[in-house]
Structure 1
Amino acid sequence: MSYIPLDEYQRKWIFTHQSMPVPEEDLVQIKPIPQQRAAQLWIENISKQSPDAERLSSSDWASKASNWQDEVDWSGAWEADEPELPQAILDHIDWQDDVTVYFCYEKYNIIETKWSVFKKHWKNFLFFDDGPILIGRRRSEALWFNTNGTVKLGHRM
Structure 2
Amino acid sequence: MTTTYIPLNEFRRKWIFNHQDLPVTDEDKAYILPLTEKSAMEVWNQWISNKSSRAEQFTKGDWAAKANAWTKTDHWQSAWDSEDNSLPEMLAEFIQWPDETPVYFCYEKYQIIETRWNVFVRNWKCFLFFDDGPILISPKQKQAVMFEQSGQYKLGIRG
Give the structure-2-normalised TM-score: 0.97
Counterparts of 2:22 and 2:89, CA distance in 1: 21
CA-CA distance at 1:66 after TM superposition: 0.3
On the 8 A contact 2:16/2:126 being kept in 1, the answer is yes
On the 8 A contact 2:18/2:24 being kept in 1, the answer is yes
Counterparts of 1:131 and 1:58, CA distance in 2: 17
- Selected match of 2:68 from 46, 66, 69: 66
1:58-91 per-residue CA deviation (whole Å, 9 max, x = no partner) reads 1100011101110000000000000000110011
- Whether 1:50 aligns to 2:48 is no
Matched residue, 1:142: 144
Percent identity, aligned pairs only? 47
Counterparts of 1:20 and 1:78, CA distance in 2: 11
- Whether 1:151 aligns to 2:153 is yes
CA-CA distance at 1:3 after TM superposition: 1.0
- Aligned residues between the structures: 157
Counterparts of 2:93 and 2:28, CA distance in 1: 23
- 3-state SS of paired residue (1:82): coil
Matched residue, 1:34: 36
On the 8 A contact 1:72/1:88 being kept in 2, the answer is yes
1:84-114 per-residue CA deviation (whole Å, 9 max, x = no partner) reads 0011001110100110000000000000000
On the 8 A contact 1:99/1:137 being kept in 2, the answer is no
Matched residue, 1:8: 10
Matched residue, 2:23: 21
Counterparts of 2:39 and 2:29, CA distance in 1: 20
Counterparts of 1:127 and 1:58, CA distance in 2: 29
Matched residue, 1:76: 78
1:108-155 per-residue CA deviation (whole Å, 9 max, x = no partner) reads 000000000000000000000000000012210000000000000000
On the 8 A contact 2:16/2:129 being kept in 1, the answer is yes
On the 8 A contact 1:135/1:141 being kept in 2, the answer is yes
Any gaps of 5 or more consecutive residues in structure 1? none
Counterparts of 2:36 and 2:132, CA distance in 1: 20
Matched residue, 1:113: 115
